[in-house]
Every structure is written in structure tokens, then in C-alpha cells.
Chains A and B, each alone.
Chain A
Amino acid sequence: MSDLLQQIVAGLEAGSYYALIGLAIVVVMKSTDVPNFAQAEMGLMAAYMCWWLADGDEIGWPFWLAILVGFAFAAVFGALVQFFLIRPLTGLSNQPLAILAAISLGYALIDLFQDNGLPFFIDWIPGLGGGYPLGVSLVLAILSVPLVYIFMKKFVKKMDNVDHFPLLLLTIGLTFALGSLIEIFFGNQPQKFNTPWSGNIFNIGDTRIGYDQVVSIGMGLAIAIGLAIFFRSKWGVRMRAIAEDGTTARLLGINAGVISLLAWAIGGLVAGAAMTLKGGSTVLELGSAEGLILKGFIAAVLGGFVSLPGTFIGGMVVGVAEAVAGGQISTSLQPTMALLIVVIVLFLYPDGLTREAKLREV
């Protein structure tokens, strides 16, 4: 019996991470209609940031300051991704992307011109051979910046009504890029992120429950309730209006750019909270995002990609089902449980579980 309770608590903890990632996906999906596959990786970036700021060997700030700055970073990072990458694909301006591409390519070119880092198929072009002094390569790189800008401005089409598939692929590309950026900046070793409450345990009967688990479950619930309240506020209603009918909402004077920026910031914040909690409870590692994002999507599917309570409960159910099936039936069943649940649910209710979801399809 105490085994079962222990498994349920562990399942609720895992479920709260799934639910939070799922909620982040749903918030982004609700307002910009982008299936964000990179959500967990963005959260992981923020979690690593928190660890880096708080860890004694690195910066060594006080815990709460590090958390505050790390979460702010998560929100800003989410907004930046929307600003630079998602804008041209949702019918907004492509100028930020062009500027970013020009500057980053120019920066990379300084290196390439200075030492012969070019691949063989262009190094025979005169002027691209490499091995120039810093001044010359700086000038060459600066000269190339406007060219790249004009190129990007001309060839990145502003696209409206892009279907989900290219957006999904774009975020998959972002996942890969972010994963290697995290590896470059923070190394590939698993890191222990110490929280003030980590390691403390209390007992209910024979069941040993960690404060980590309580904090994770509580934070998950609090964020879910907070999001539900937010979507009833003025900004939340605007966000829902943009998602429901973008053109009409924009005609009514709602600024779609700002709204989707806000949604991405909130998504980044929620995902950052999820990954930080997970890092505090277990360890921070590179592979953890890959497993979480699929479960997050499963939770979002269970909520029909619109319903916040549906997503939250879906994530919790998946987590508990995994832990209980793994503990009571067979350990080999644990990783397949979530996949089985989503397949069965999609077979039985292809339109989603909630009434809201059905309305959206119509």
C-alpha cells in the first residue's frame, strides 16, 4: 500500500512536469497556432541559466536572485524566439530575422576569414581563402553584412496561414540548435541543482515524501491556476481572440505582434519553471528535454491543444499511469505507457477530449 502511495506521489511529480510543458505548448498554440517542439529545450536553457547563476563553482548568487533572473531570462528568451524566428512565418515582419542573420553571419565570417575554416568547396574562390589579418577580415565581414541583410529580406517570404508542418519543422530545427548551444555553453555533464529544500524528506505513515516532490506538484498546480486566471483577464481575452480569428481581432485593433510576443514569453516562463523544478528534483541533463517534450505534447493532445484544465489533468494522468504501471505491473511497461495512452485516446476520441476542442475543429 505504501508502495502504491509512493508511486502515486512520484507519478504526480513527473506528471506536473509533463503538465507544465503541455501548458506552455498550449499557451503558444492558443495564441499563435505554432506547435512549439522546442519548448522543453527553451526551458532547459533557462534551467541551466538558473543553475549557472546559483552554483557556487560558477557565479554563486543567492538562490532566489538566481531563480528570479533565470525566470526573467526564460521569458525574454521565449519572446526573442518569437521576435526573430516566428514572426515572418505568422505574417508579420521579417526584418528582425534579417538583421539577426546578417549580424551573426558577419560575426562568424570574421572567424572564417581569419583562419582557414572554410570547407573545400568555396575556399578556391578568390577572397574567401582565409588566413587574413584581423583588420582585413573585419572589413570583409562588415561588407558582407548588408548583402546578407538584403538577401534575407528579399528571400524570406512573409507567410500568412502557414500550416502546422513547416512550423513544427522550424521548431525541431530550433531544438537541435538550442541543444548544442546548451552543450557549448554549459558542458555536457549532468549537473545537480541544489535548492534550499532539496534532500529533505518527511513521512506519512510508511511513505517517504520529499519536499522536492511537494514543491513540484504545488508549483505545477499554482501555475496552472494562474494561467487559467490569466486567460480570463483582459490580455488573456485578447490572446484568445487572436487565436480564434486573427484577421477580425486585428481589425478590432488588437496588436497581434505584441500578443504573440507575450504568449511566447509566458510559454518560455512556464517551460523554464518546469525544467528548473525538474532539475532541482533530479539532475539537470541534456537528454531530459527530449523525453519531456513528447510527454508534453501528449498532455497537450489530451487537452485538445486548447483546454488548460484538460492539459493539466492529462499530464497528471500520464505521469501517474506511468509510475503505477511501472511499479505494479512491469518496469518495461513504464516508458510505453504514455504512448499507449495517447494512441488509445486518439483512437477513441479523435476530436479531442473536451467540448472546447470540438468547437475549435468546427
Chain B
Amino acid sequence: MALLEKRNLERYRTLASVKTNSSGFPLYPPKASGIKGQRRLITSTGIFVILAFLPWLPILGWFTIFNPATNYGLGNIAYVFAYAAAGVGFNLLIGYSGTLGLAHAGIFALGAYGTAILSAPQECLDYDTCETIIRPAVAGYGWPFLVALPVVCIVAALIGALVGFPAARLKGFYLAIATLALGELIVKLISLDAKLWSGLKTNSGTGKQVPIFELFGSGQLKSAYFISLASLIITFVAYVIYTENRLGRTLKAVRDIEIATGPLGISGTYYKLVAFGLSSFAAAFAGAAWAQNSAFVNPTSFRTRLLVFLLVVLILGGLGKLWGPLIGAFVFVYLRQEFQDQQKLLFFLIGVALMLAILLLPEGFASLPDRMRDSRWVQDLRRRFKSAKVSS
């Protein structure tokens, strides 16, 4: 036994990349080298390259709802990306760190409103010289969109970390209620009177036109599409990098055995706050992309209902799964567009889908391949196949 350990130790030491602690023991087992270790990153990149060229590819044409050749379909795909990006951030928080932070609707609203207000042209009193036809009530600060976006996202991440502070003291259900209240509070603050927030000029909660940012003059929908795609790619890459490295493992450890990680010197609070911050960054980015796509924001669209939509996206897709939010967002946007004219039926179906997902597929659509592979029937088939091969 001791010999084996020693040999393993030697092997670990020869791998330069493995971090060891002061007594020479590896902190975590080495990653598989070469392409094998990077497989997740490579598949993701490949799929994103395809997604980036989607508007010019003839596939998906038989989906009316997702037909990228039409403005309607392109907008829907952009919604899918935005919801999926918010879902990936949510996944990091709920699925990976196991923290029930439900303030995401508020952070999403913060991203949408923040970018809209910062990038709106400054109030101009002389209407003849104004190029845009935006009403004075929605005038903002006139920042370029590409400056406003990162600023808003970083501020949202800080606010998200602040919202996460109850996580240090509260557990489970209490935390869910506290963060739900804080998220609602953010939406309420956004929709407060213009008197109180004269600088923000949110038009006292009646909704607000979003100044459109056009990427290289490619039109509103195409640029909204690319901003949404960018938000998805960035959150995806961040998710893959963080969950495959130290942070992801620590978050998992804090989630599963917080009693043990404390005495080891790992601050559970710190890691939870990092998770809150990262997921808020993703939510704000997604909110900004969503606002660019819908071109109009209204505080009522960020109420608890949006939170439920995000939960549906996450749960249908699969909690803690990389591709879960994207699958869930596709299903959700499909349902929403298919039953657009029958709102009653839509909410009924969303409710039933959520219930069935909890009862039948608690790990979501993304877990279906795994479940199929592990099912008795498939394993039996595989065994038979193997034995047939051996005997021949």
C-alpha cells in the first residue's frame, strides 16, 4: 500500500502542472492530458461556431419558430440565447454551489435597465438638433453601449455579491425567501418614482424604450442576435473554466460537506459570494442582451414571473448540467411562441411541464443520455453485444 502511494506520488510529482501542498501531496488528481482533457471545451467551441453562422445556414428552416432567415425566427433564437445565458449563471449558483439564491429576476432587470439608461442619449432640450426621437423622459447618460455593458455587468456582479450576503448566515429555504425579497426590492427600486431617482429618469415605471446598439451597422435584430450569442458564449466559457478548475471543485465541496470544508480553512461564505457575483454578472449580461432584442423594457416584465421562467429553463434543461440551460431555453421559447395567442393554455402547459419535469426527470433533459446509458435495458444489450463479439 505504502509502495503504491509512493509510486503514485512520484508520478504526480513528474507532472509539472499538478499543484502540491507543503508535504508534497497533490491537491487534486491530474487532468487527462491532450485533447481528451479539453474535450468539453472543444465540443462547446464547435457548437458555438455553428451557432454563430446560424443566420446564414439553411438548417432549421423547417422550424417556423426558429427559422433564422426571418426576423421572427432570428429574434426567437436571440431570446433562447439570452435566457440560456441567464440560465447558465443561475446553474452555477443553484446547480453547482447549491445555494438557493432567487434574486435573478432583479439582477436581470438591472442589466436591462442599466444598459438602457446609461446608453440612452443625453437629454436634449432643443428638439431640432436631436437626431433621435426619444422622449426627454427616457433620456440617459449617452455612454457608448460597449462601455455601458461591462460597467453594468460589473456593478451587477457587486450587487449580486451583496445580495448573497445573507447566504453567510441563512440556509436553504430562509435564504430563498430573503433573496427573493431582495430581488423584488431591486425591481421595486427600479420602478420607483422619478422624483426619487431624478438621475435615472425611469419614467415612473411605465416602461422605457431601449436605445438600439447596432453592431457594425448590421441592423437591430442581427446585432441583438450577436450580443445574445456573445453573452451565451462568455457565460458558457466562464462556466466551463470555473467548474473544471479549483473554484468548481471547491464550490461542490462547500455544497456537499460544508461541515468539513470550514475546518480545512476554506471559507464557505467567500466561495458562495463568488458564485453569487459570477452568476449575477451572467444574469445582467443576459438582461442587457434581452433588452436589445425586445427594444422595450418595463418593470412588470421582471416580476416573479421572469424568475419562474428562468427556473423552468433551468429545471427542464437540467440542474447542474452544462448544456441544460440551452436545451431548456429552446423548449421554453418554443412553447412560448407556439402558444403565443393562447396565454391561458401557455401558462397551464408551463405549469404542467414544470411539475412533470420534477416528477419524471428531476435532472432534466440533459440527463436523458446518461439515464438511457445507465438503464438496465441498454446495459443488457451492451453486455450481449460484447459477449457475441467475444464468442465470434
Q: Assess whether B178 is interfacial by the CB under 8 Å rule.
A: yes
> Does the CB pair A177–B338 fall under 8 Å?
no
Nearest CB of chain B from residue A119's CB, rounded to whole Å? 7
Are the C-beta atoms of A166 and B362 separated by less than 8 Å? Answer: yes
A-side contacts of B353, CB under 8 Å: 173
B347 near A179 (CB under 8 angstroms)? Answer: yes
The answer to whether A177 and B359 have CB atoms under 8 Å apart is: no
Q: Judging by beta carbons under 8 Å apart, are A169 and B354 in contact?
A: yes
Which listed residue, B177, B304, B344, B360, touches A180 by the CB 8 Å rule? B344
Q: Does A178 contact B (CB under 8 A)?
A: yes
Write the nearest CB–CB distance from A353 to chain B, whole angstroms: 12
Q: Of A163, A166, A174, A339, which contacts B188 at CB under 8 A? A: A339
Q: Check if A346 sits within 8 Å of B354, measured CB to CB.
A: no
Does A113 touch B at the CB level, under 8 Å? no
Residues of A within 8 A of B360 (CB): 152, 155-156
List B contacts of A152 (CB < 8 A). Answer: 360
Within A160-211, the residues touching B (CB, 8 Å) are 163-166, 168-170, 172-181, 183-184
Q: Are A164 and B172 CB-contacts (below 8 A) given A183-B344, A332-B192, A332-B196?
A: yes
List A contacts of B174 (CB < 8 A).
Answer: 301, 346, 350, 352
CB of A343, distance to nearest CB on chain B (Å): 5
Provide the residues of chain A in CB contact with B240, threshold 8 Å. none
- A298 and B303 CA atoms in complex are apart in Å by 17
Contact A305 B173 (CB under 8 A): yes
Q: Are A175 and B181 in contact (CB under 8 A)?
A: no
User: Is B352 at the interface (CB under 8 A from chain A)?
Assistant: yes
Answer yes or no: A336 CB below 8 A from chain B CBs. yes
The answer to whether B308 touches A172 (Cβ under 8 A) is yes
Complex interface: chain B residues within 8 A of A166 (CB) = 358, 362
Also in contact, A88 and B347, with CB within 8 A (given A173-B354, A298-B177, A305-B173):
no
Chain A residues 231-262 with CB under 8 Å of chain B are none
Complex Cα spacing A173 to B354, Å:
5
Q: 1/0 per residue B54-68: CB within 8 Å of A?
A: 000000000000000
A235 to B181, CA, bound (A): 35
Smallest beta-carbon distance A223→chain B, Å? 23
A339 vs B180: C-alpha distance when bound (angstroms): 9
Compute how far the CA of A165 lies from the CA of B172 in the bound complex, rounded to whole angstroms: 8
Q: B162-183 toward A: CB 8 Å interface, digit per residue (1/0)? A: 0000100110111011101110
Interface residue B283 (Cβ < 8 Å from any Cβ of A): no
Contact of B42 with A by CB under 8 A: no
Distance in angstroms between the alpha carbons of A290 and B305 in the assembled complex = 9
User: Is A77 positioned at the interface, with any CB of B under 8 Å from its CB?
Assistant: no
For A221, list chain B residues within 8 Å (CB).
none
Q: Find chain A residues with CB under 8 A from B196 CB.
A: 332
Are B359 and A156 touching (Cβ within 8 A)? yes
- Choice from A169, A290, A297 contacting B315 with Cβ under 8 Å: A169
Contact A97 B344 (CB under 8 A): no
B193 at the interface (CB under 8 A from A): yes
Pick the contact of A172: B173, B345, B354 (CB < 8 A). B354
- Shortest Cβ gap from A338 to chain B (Å): 8
Q: Do B185 and A336 have beta carbons less than 8 Å apart?
A: yes
Q: How far is the CA of A172 from the CA of B360 in the complex (A)?
A: 16
* B184 closest partner in A (C-beta): A339
Q: Give CA–CA (A168, B177) in the complex, Å.
A: 11
- Residue pair B338, A174 in contact (C-beta under 8 Å): no
Please tell me if the beta carbons of A173 and B352 are within 8 angstroms of each other in the complex. Answer: yes
Q: Mark B205-220, 1 if CB is under 8 A from A, else 0.
A: 0000000000000000
Given A119-B338, A183-B344, A332-B192, answer yes or no on A175-B351 (Cβ-Cβ < 8 Å).
yes
A163–B362 Cα distance when bound, in Å, is 12
Which chain A positions have C-beta within 8 A of B359?
Answer: 88-89, 97, 156, 170
Closest to A347 in B: B166
- Binary A-proximity of B292-319 (CB < 8 A = 1, otherwise 0): 0000000000011000100100010000
Whether B166 lies near A339 (C-beta < 8 A) is no
Known pairs A35-B173, A166-B362, A294-B180; A173 contacts B355 (CB<8 A):
yes
If A332-B193, A343-B185 touch, does A174 touch B351 (CB 8 Å cutoff)? yes
B185 and A339 contacting across the interface, CB-CB below 8 Å: yes
B268 CB to nearest chain A CB (Å): 15
Task: Select from chain A the residue with minimum beta-carbon distance to B311.
Answer: A169
Q: State whether A336 and B188 are in contact (beta carbons under 8 Å apart), knowing that A172-B308, A175-B351 are contacts in the complex.
A: yes
CB under 8 Å from chain A, chain B span 327-378? 338, 343-348, 350-355, 357-360, 362
Assess whether A85 is interfacial by the CB under 8 Å rule. Answer: yes
Contacts of A165 in B (CB 8 A): 94, 100, 172, 176
Known A301-B174, A346-B174; judge A177-B355 contact (CB<8 A). yes
User: Is A335 on the interface with B (CB-CB < 8 A)?
Assistant: yes
Tell me the bound Cα distance from A88 to B357 in angstroms.
14
- Decide yes or no whether A342 CB sits under 8 A from chain B: yes
A–B Cβ pairs within 8 angstroms, 23 of them? A35-B173, A89-B358, A97-B359, A156-B360, A163-B172, A164-B172, A164-B176, A165-B100, A165-B172, A166-B358, A168-B176, A169-B311, A172-B351, A173-B352, A290-B303, A294-B180, A294-B184, A332-B192, A339-B181, A339-B184, A339-B188, A342-B178, A346-B174
Which of B's residues lie within 8 Å of A, judged by CB? 94, 100, 166, 169-170, 172-174, 176-178, 180-182, 184-185, 188-189, 192-193, 196, 303-304, 308, 311, 315, 338, 343-348, 350-355, 357-360, 362
* A-B contacts besides A164-B173, A301-B174, 11 pairs, CB < 8 Å: A163-B172, A169-B311, A173-B352, A179-B351, A294-B184, A301-B177, A332-B196, A339-B182, A342-B181, A346-B170, A347-B166
Closest 4 CB pairs of A and B: A176-B351, A173-B354, A177-B351, A180-B348
